[in-house]
Amino acid sequence: MIIPRPTLYRDAALADPSGPSLRKDASVLVDAGRVVWIRSSTDEGDLPPSVHVIDAGGSTIVAGMVDAHSHVTLPGGSHWIDRGADPPEELLEVAEHNGDLLGRAGVRWARDVGSPLAVDPRDGRRRALALLVRERWQSDPNRPRIRVAGTWIGHSGVLTGGLAIEADDGPALLQAASTQLDDGADFLKLYLDGPKKEEAPWSTEDVRAVVELAHGRGAKVTAHSGFLVGARVGIDAGVDSLEHGFELDSDAVGKMAHQGTFLVSTLAIFRSWTSFAQTTTLPRFVGEEGKERIARRRDGAIESVHLAYRARVQIATGTDFGGGSLRANHLAWEVEALVEAGLKPWEALASATVRGGDLLGETTAGRIVEGGPADFFLVHGDPLSDPTALWRVWRVAWLRD
């Protein structure tokens, strides 16, 4: 086994997303996967004798990002829904590819909000495939750290392809939630869009019972929310976060801010769909009617995130890769979309780093601190003022080169 030497990243800029300005002339010493110190490059002091110095001049150090809405077992692309029916062996290979893509894009943490059910070879039970991925990746420092919601819990007639566990009333919902936690899910994912767009799938009381069950077992509850009626039920029931939040009003975001309900934004979905008008022949992306529908939903979603931002809702950032059409290395696209929705670039970077860590309840995720994990990557440009810098990844400190 090769024992890694201490590594010094010398003379980089450091992007701390608590403010708009880079810290320049920064040197960071890393040993055994941890940040030993961060000092001025002109005053590094004594260095370990065997140190490996990396001239990081011209680059910017950024904390490893958190993709707070991901589907690690699914590939994304314009046929993303069909891919959910692929054989589990294939989806496990997809997960490994995604793990690689995430790391190289500077994403250290992925929060998996739904994976297909498959027979677990370890005990023959059907459970969410991402639970198996979590176990595989636990001991591999090159792979993202993940938290897994198990599979989707939805009302019948909503999610196609047999992907979700279906629950049509309160007792069934509670049973489904309990089974997910028994299977080892870190948190729960409810699908708060109903079979009818204007009706929530469950009552506030039914969802509240799930929240109480999960909290009692130390787990959080998140909810897919495409429409306002479901968002209201989730917020009133006390879910910990809403995913997408494509249709929120000022009353909803006010309550979210007051309660500390997170919003996980996934606005880049619409950018992706818009790009498919150029790159596919699928009528719902290419046709005039489809384009209009996408533009309408996009504008509403941007307005919702803008309202949430103005109300000071805590916003974390997700790609929805796999469960939507983005790919695993596209988180920068969402950071760009947040800036379009009104966040300052450094605030959008905070959403993709520290806020994601806060949502996960992981105190070191998305942060660079002395004594903490050396989970950072280096880009060219200033991501505190320009989110496109996040596409220009030069190296990733936690990956073996």
Binding site for Zn ion (CB under 5 A): 320, 323
- One-letter amino acid at 262 equals F
Nearer to Zn ion among residue 243 and residue 336 (C-beta): 243
Nearer to Zn ion, 323 or 357 (CB): 323
- Nearer to Zn ion (CB atom), residue 16 or residue 320: 320
* Residue 78 exposed, middle or buried by CB count within 10 Å (0-12, 13-18, 19+): middle
Strand 262-265 and strand 315-317: the pairing is parallel
* Burial profile 44-72: b = 16 or more Cβ within 10 angstroms, e = fewer: beeeeeebeebebeebbbbbbbbbbbbbb
Residue 43 exposure: Cα atoms within 13 Å on the Cβ side:
3
Which one, 26 or 117, has the nearer CB to Zn ion? 117
**CA-CA distance, 266 to 247, in Å (whole number)?**
12
Nearest-approach distance from CB 239 to Zn ion, in angstroms: 15
DSSP three-state, residue 41: coil
DSSP assignments along 261-310, one per residue: -EEEE-THHHHHHHHHHHH---HHHHSHHHHHHHHHHHHHHHHHHHHHHH
| Rounded alpha-carbon distances, angstroms, from residue 247 to 225, 265, 298, 376 | 8, 12, 10, 34
Query: How far is Cα 325 from Cα 231, in angstroms, rounded to an integer?
Result: 23
Q: Shortest gap between Cβ of 323 and Zn ion (angstroms)?
A: 3
Please, which residue, 17 or 84, has the CB nearer to Zn ion?
84
Exposed e or buried b per residue across 128-162, where buried means at least 16 C-beta atoms within 10 angstroms of its C-beta: bbbbbbbeebeeeeebbbbbbbbbbbbbeebbeee
Identity of the residue, 84 or 357, whose beta carbon is nearer to Zn ion in the bound complex: 84
| Number of Cβ atoms within 10 Å of the Cβ of 85 | 12
> Minimum distance between the CB of residue 260 and Zn ion, rounded to whole angstroms?
22
Q: How far is the CB of 72 from Zn ion (least distance, A)?
A: 11
Q: What is the nearest approach in angstroms of Zn ion to the Cβ of residue 251?
A: 25
Nearest 5°: phi and psi at 155? Answer: -75, 150
Q: How far is the CB of 172 from Zn ion (least distance, A)?
A: 22
β 241-244/34-40 pair status: unpaired
For the bound state, the minimum distance from the C-beta of residue 10 to Zn ion, rounded and expressed in Å, comes to 40
**Quick one: 226 or 357, whose CB is closer to Zn ion?**
226
Neighbouring CB atoms inside 10 A of 7's CB total 18
Q: How buried is residue 303: exposed, middle or buried, by Cβ count under 10 Å (0-12/13-18/19+)? A: middle
Closest distance to Zn ion from the beta carbon of 189 (Å): 8
Between 60 and 115, whose beta carbon lies closer to Zn ion? 115
Q: Is 116 helix (H, G, I), strand (E, B) or coil?
A: coil
Q: Which is nearer to Zn ion, 60 or 73 (CB)?
A: 73
The Cα 4–Cα 269 span in angstroms is 40
Residue 318 CB, nearest distance to Zn ion (Å)?
Answer: 7
Give Cβ neighbours of residue 306 (< 8 Å, ≥ 6 apart): 341, 342
Cβ-based nearer residue to Zn ion, 81 or 92: 81
Instruction: Give the CB-nearest residue to Zn ion.
Output: 323
CB of 394 to Zn ion, least distance (A): 30
